[in-house]
Amino acid sequence: MSRRRVPPAAPKRPSLPAAPPGHSADAERAAFRDAVRDVRPLAPRPPPPAAPRPTPRARLRRADERRALAESLELGPGDLLVETGEELYFRRAQLAPRVLERLKRGEFALQDEIDLHGLTAVEARDALRAFLAGALARRFACVRVVHGKGLRSGPRGPVLKHAVNVWLRKVDAVLAFASTRPVDGGTGAVYVLLGR
């Protein structure tokens, strides 16, 4: 003989307490109004100040800088070749030799860096161009560019290292660069000193 299941009874809902005698919705509204009588609305907040718009002259100067930077980062057939493991260094004639020595020792505070590993030469050129333009716009003095050592480049040698060596020499705002200390990448990266 099968037993029939009886569904459980639905739980009873608690009933709301009855309003006290003589209590009405009008009385509630009046009590609320009485409670908030001294409340005053807040003064409206002024809108946040708009970001300053660049002047036409500043926009044109930045466009000129980007165009000059783009033109300067082209490789030519007679550009310097570098070997795997070779240290890179360069300084403009107007810069004192001791500044390059300080740069080689990593004595300047790094303000930004870019890693070009895994990029093609064209991608690396475009990324470096944008990075340098941004660093110059923010008036950074010292940045690091990681180009890699080129250990897996085969007979072509370190392609990005060679390209970075050439590109940085062509950018007028680059005052000097030098291979980093081992802790910062050694011959796989350079410290770059920027100026106007």
Confidence of residue 74 (pLDDT cuts 50, 70, 90): low
For range 168-175, the mean pLDDT: 91
- Name, of 21-25, 39-43, 153-157, 192-196, the range with top average pLDDT: 192-196
Q: What share of the chain in percent tops pLDDT 70? A: 65
Q: Which CATH class is domain 86-194?
A: alpha beta
Distance of CA 134 to the CA centre of its chain: 9
For range 51-55, the mean pLDDT: 61
For range 103-108, the mean pLDDT: 94
Confidence of residue 130 (pLDDT cuts 50, 70, 90): very high
Does residue 182 or residue 83 have the better pLDDT? 182
| Strand positions, DSSP E, 70-132 | 89-91, 112-115
pLDDT of residue 79: 46
What distance, in Å, lies between the first and last C-alpha atoms of the chain? 99
Residues 100 and 176 sit within 8 Å (Cβ to Cβ): yes
- Classify 99 as helix, strand or coil: helix
Q: CA quadruple 172, 138, 190, 156: dihedral positive or negative?
A: negative
161: pLDDT strictly greater than 80: yes
- Classify 185 as helix, strand or coil: coil
**pTM for this prediction:** 0.58
> Do the strands 174-179 and 189-194 form a parallel or antiparallel pair, or are they unpaired?
antiparallel
pLDDT of residue 110: 94
For range 157-170, the mean pLDDT: 85
Does residue 21 or residue 134 have the better pLDDT? 134
Contacts of 120 (CB under 8 A, 6+ apart): none
Residues 194 and 172 sit within 8 Å (Cβ to Cβ): no
